[in-house]
Chain A
Amino acid sequence: MSALPPKSAPQPAARTPWSTKAWTSLKTSFPLLVIAGAFLWSVVVITTYRRQQSPPGTTVELRLGHWQLETGVREAFDKLAAEYTKLHPGVHIIQDAVPEGAYGQWMVTQLMGGTAPDILETGNGVPYNVLLGFYSRYFIPLTAYVKQPNPYNQGTALSNTVWRSTFKDAMRSGYIEELQEYMTVPLSQFGVRIFYNKTLLKKLTGLNEAPRNFQAFIAACERIKSCQDEKGRPYTPIAASGYHMFMWDGFLSDPLTFGAVRRLDFNRDGAVGNDELFIGFKTDRVNADFPPFKAKFRMTRELTQQCQPGFTGLGRDEAVFLFAQQRAVFISTGTWDAGSLLEQAKGSFEVGIMAFPFPAKDDPMFGSVAEGPAYERMQFQGFPFAITRTSKHPEVALDFLMFLSSQRNNEELNRIIGWIPSISGASLPPFLKAFEPVLEGVFGAMPITLGGETIIKWSQVYSLFQVGQIGYEALMAEFVPFYLNKGVVEYEEMQRSRRRGVAGDEQFMAGMRSQALLAPDAESLEEWNRYRRLTSDRLLTRDLGPVLMEKQLNAGRMPNATAPYDFSPEVIARVQARLKEKERR
């Protein structure tokens, strides 16, 4: 009995065996192990993936991010990247093509995380004011480089031309006014034209080519409208939708209002702003009877009569469907749709591309106000790329952008994609020849809305006009009194909005001032000059134009006032005196 150990003595059985301890430890550490495992797995996967992307011998890996998933874009970059690698062995270029809808989020994440590609396409997914901040924080200014010739243009007519001037728009679209810096390299241009079913046009009208003259075009449309298909359904001359109308307006009817520039461009900047138009109506310098305005709406009416019924309520795809089904002859669209339209027509019908049919000088209805064709340019320069500050090889990124924007390579890049090159002298694919922009012409001068209520009212009455429910007189009778009345409040609100923007400009300028205050001596003068230039533009002189405009408004009714581009009797007298003086000499 004495052999029994005392009860108080330690019991060997109570000691936890090592296996149990390990099991408990494993159980409690399991989440940690899962996290660590996932982390290691992701490291291995990413490293392996990146290794697979970069072939052996790669010394410089350049990444390029964009949102262009259209046919041809990735293939074009791959081809040009391969050619670049041939010239620069060791450089390997990889694309990050991200869907348009997710691009903004992806770009922001990459930039903020410091993991952005070396080269990024910019302009999509973030508001412009945010993008401005991003430009200054995350991208490298290109100003210092745009004044040098592009070495990849050697042997061409552009070999001695500075890089900036080799672009069709002199790289203006890559220049960020607010930062006073060139930030992006635009690689393509876009254009809008009328596409037409050549086969159907010939069948219905006997014409081999679409008419280039407005009256002849409308006559062809009338003939098309009078025909029926084998099921007895009438053909539609123009396939349109709410989306498509801006093109017809912008390229055909709006330019007829150009005459308002001479009458209402009070600040003589070469265009009519919505404030100037309002002052024009308010002071009776123009009214609904102004011939260019009447002409615009008359033309719109003639065009909308050729569209399918209820087109304003239809979507873009419904119009394209009507065209692809060979139930309509004409459709307006841009280079971005050219490839898919040609693809849909393949084997079924021949597609023609034509310029918008402008009225001839002797046109009885529009000839007197049609001063020229629509001016086309700035709005369609795009496909812009910028270099990120986190790039490990910014010099190679810059060199690759120069390579892509050289005459020969830009031509090749856009040939593969089916877009218009952005570089002067780069030839167009044959089917895009019709998209060569018209660089001498006129533009619309009737921005008739000021703010919320006038925008809503205008869209209501204009929709009724477009579908033929009301005529021009009714449209203006309904809108103009409302515009003159509500416009006063909205004009004042516009001025308040402008003043509200001062705080943002102050904020920006304080940042610029700090740069000047803290700049090393060598850069100080340059920084102060930049600061003063921007202060002048953004703060000092911002009220001057609106003040002069307000003086015009306060002057009251002036139906017979000398217009900004009219010769007053005093000026004619001065011209006379100068001519006499010249003759005397």
Chain B
Amino acid sequence: MLSRTQIRRTRSTLPLGRVALLVMALGLGGAGGCRQSHRAETEDRAQEGWTWYRSGDFGPAVKAFEAALARAGTNTVRQQHALYGLGCTWALRRPGEDPDKAAAYFQKVIVADPKSDLAAWSSLARARMQTLPVAGEAVAIKNQVQAYQAVIDAFPDSPAAEEAFVFQQAARLGDARAGEEQATLATLEAYIKNHPQTPWRSSIFQLIAHCCTALNRPEQRLAAILEATKARELLASAGTIPDRRLIYWQVATLAEFELGDFDLARENFRKLIAEYPTDQLVFISKQELKRMDALEEKIRGKVTTP
């Protein structure tokens, strides 16, 4: 058997040092190239951190955010960006999330400049952490409402607070047995009256439409669907053609089966057929057009027959 000293001697006869040097040289060359390309791709390490984050590489994301924090010096905005990135990564990485660590990072962002935008976004991120379902079970509505209210109270005029408000209302509608539709509808209508230009207009009208479905108010629901669609198309990226097939379908079937407004139903079925001629809803749209004709024919027959 070889002793340890012998093993050490045997090893020392191999040019391990030189091999290691070569490998390191090649590796460093490659890594240097990678780093350079990252520098070219991202303005700073925080942005690099987000690039890693978006591709699901949370380890490198944390390192990049930590490096950004180390380089931030006394610049509060840069510090906040790095801390916010670290907070999001530790809150949302899967697996390996650390909610306590994340909350601590978000708190640091808030402390660094309590009036800043990123403080508001950090506050919302903390609220979202509190409202995240645990093991597939929804958090109680009351707790969700409180979490969002804290953001609204602390940063009343910020975009984050506006988002918190919309999430708060959606949370109220998230339990089938809660019976919150009537109250939420009133809150949403009041909000849209006071903030007609809100960037969340489309989402708010979607929530209103939901309330109207639950409360069986088809006319109001139709109006909300149309408003939501109009507002949503304003959010569409330049050059993209909005997908209206389900909107046509929803409006047409709502008009046909709940409002008895066959003209509106026909108009929307026809738009669907014309604009999406190969869609799977075309066949049934044509059938519905025939059904409406047949029903009207039947009614006319009864009306005109003495």
- A-side residues, CB < 8 A to B, are 28-29, 31-32, 35-36, 114, 133, 136-137, 143-144, 146-147, 164, 168-170, 180, 261, 268-271, 371-372, 375, 377-378, 439-443, 493, 495-497, 499-500, 502-504, 506-507, 510-511, 513-515, 517-518, 526, 528-530, 532-533, 535-536, 539-541, 543-544, 547-548, 550-551, 554, 564-568, 570-580, 583
Q: Please indicate the chain A residues that have their CB under 8 angstroms from the CB of B286 in the complex.
A: 440
Q: How far is the CA of A500 from the CA of B13 in the complex (A)?
A: 57
Q: Please indicate the chain A residues that have their CB under 8 angstroms from the CB of B166 in the complex.
A: 540
Q: Please indicate the chain A residues that have their CB under 8 angstroms from the CB of B277 in the complex.
A: 439
Mask: chain B, 193-234; 1 = CB below 8 Å from A; 0 = not: 000000110110011001001100000000000000000101
- B240 and A579 within 8 A (CB): no
Q: In the complex, which of the residues B18, B85, B173, B280 contacts A32, with contact meaning CB atoms closer than 8 Å? A: B18
Please report which residues of chain B, range 87-106, place their CB below 8 angstroms from some CB of chain A when the two chains form the complex. Answer: 88, 91-94
Q: Please indicate the chain A residues that have their CB under 8 angstroms from the CB of B278 in the complex.
A: 168-170, 377, 439
Instruction: Please classify how large the interface on chain B is, using the bins under 10, 10 to 19, 20 to 34, 35 or more.
Output: 35 or more
- B249 and A268 within 8 A (CB): yes
Instruction: Report if B73 contacts A (CB, 8 A).
Output: no
B89 to chain A, nearest CB (A): 9
- A497 and B303 within 8 A (CB): no
Instruction: Report if B123 contacts A (CB, 8 A).
Output: no
Q: How far is the CA of A212 from the CA of B277 in the complex (A)?
A: 26
Instruction: Report if B299 contacts A (CB, 8 A).
Output: yes
Q: Please indicate the chain B residues that have their CB under 8 angstroms from the CB of A580 in the complex.
A: 303
Once A499-B136, A504-B94, A533-B232 are accepted as A-B contacts, the answer to whether A514 and B19 lie under 8 Å apart by CB is no
Binds A, one of B2-10, B50-58, B107-115, B150-158: B50-58
Once A530-B237, A575-B262 are accepted as A-B contacts, the answer to whether A543 and B173 lie under 8 Å apart by CB is yes
- A496 and B137 within 8 A (CB): yes
Mask: chain B, 238-255; 1 = CB below 8 Å from A; 0 = not: 111100001001100110
Q: How far is the CA of A29 from the CA of B16 in the complex (A)?
A: 9
Instruction: Report if B69 contacts A (CB, 8 A).
Output: no
Q: Please indicate the chain A residues that have their CB under 8 angstroms from the CB of B191 in the complex.
A: none
Instruction: Report if B47 contacts A (CB, 8 A).
Output: yes
Find the B residue at minimum CB distance from A164.
B241
Mask: chain B, 149-180; 1 = CB below 8 Å from A; 0 = not: 00000000000000100110010011111000
Find the A residue at minimum CB distance from B287.
A371
Q: Please indicate the chain A residues that have their CB under 8 angstroms from the CB of B282 in the complex.
A: 439-440
Once A144-B239, A268-B253, A580-B303 are accepted as A-B contacts, the answer to whether A571 and B260 lie under 8 Å apart by CB is yes
A424 to chain B, nearest CB (A): 10
- B174 and A28 within 8 A (CB): no
- B260 and A572 within 8 A (CB): yes
Q: How far is the CA of A348 from the CA of B136 in the complex (A)?
A: 60
Q: How far is the CA of A5 from the CA of B299 in the complex (A)?
A: 137
- B295 and A28 within 8 A (CB): no
Q: Please indicate the chain B residues that have their CB under 8 angstroms from the CB of A529 in the complex.
A: 199, 234-237
- A541 and B132 within 8 A (CB): no
Find the A residue at minimum CB distance from B118.
A517
Instruction: Report if B40 contacts A (CB, 8 A).
Output: no
- A578 and B262 within 8 A (CB): yes
Q: How far is the CA of A576 from the CA of B296 in the complex (A)?
A: 8
Instruction: Report if B147 contacts A (CB, 8 A).
Output: no
Once A268-B253, A377-B280 are accepted as A-B contacts, the answer to whether A147 and B239 lie under 8 Å apart by CB is yes
A555 to chain B, nearest CB (A): 10
Instruction: Report if B138 contacts A (CB, 8 A).
Output: yes
Q: In the complex, which of the residues B137, B173, B296 contacts A499, with contact meaning CB atoms closer than 8 Å? A: B137
Please report which residues of chain B, range 1-29, place their CB below 8 angstroms from some CB of chain A when the two chains form the complex. Answer: 13-15, 18-19, 22
- B295 and A572 within 8 A (CB): yes
Q: Please indicate the chain A residues that have their CB under 8 angstroms from the CB of B296 in the complex.
A: 575, 579
Q: How far is the CA of A29 from the CA of B18 in the complex (A)?
A: 8
Q: Please indicate the chain A residues that have their CB under 8 angstroms from the CB of B88 in the complex.
A: 510, 514
Q: Can you list 14 A-B pairs with a CB-CB distance of less than 8 A?
A: A29-B15, A31-B14, A32-B22, A114-B37, A143-B237, A503-B92, A507-B93, A515-B50, A517-B117, A535-B163, A540-B207, A543-B170, A572-B299, A578-B262
B13 to chain A, nearest CB (A): 6
Q: How far is the CA of A270 from the CA of B284 in the complex (A)?
A: 8
- A540 and B203 within 8 A (CB): yes
B99 to chain A, nearest CB (A): 11
Instruction: Report if B135 contacts A (CB, 8 A).
Output: yes
Q: Could you say which of A114, A170, A528, A568 has the most chain B C-beta atoms within 10 Å of its C-beta?
A: A170
Q: Please indicate the chain A residues that have their CB under 8 angstroms from the CB of B238 in the complex.
A: 526
Given contacts A268-B253, A440-B282, A536-B200, 13 further A-B contacts (CB under 8 A): A136-B55, A144-B239, A270-B280, A439-B277, A442-B284, A502-B132, A518-B81, A532-B202, A533-B236, A541-B170, A541-B203, A567-B257, A577-B260
Q: In the complex, which of the residues A36, A510, A532 contacts B200, with contact meaning CB atoms closer than 8 Å? A: A532
Q: How far is the CA of A231 from the CA of B276 in the complex (A)?
A: 55
Q: How far is the CA of A564 from the CA of B249 in the complex (A)?
A: 13
Q: How far is the CA of A580 from the CA of B56 in the complex (A)?
A: 62
Please report which residues of chain B, range 251-306, place their CB below 8 angstroms from some CB of chain A when the two chains form the complex. Answer: 253-254, 257-263, 276-278, 280-284, 286-288, 295-296, 299-300, 303
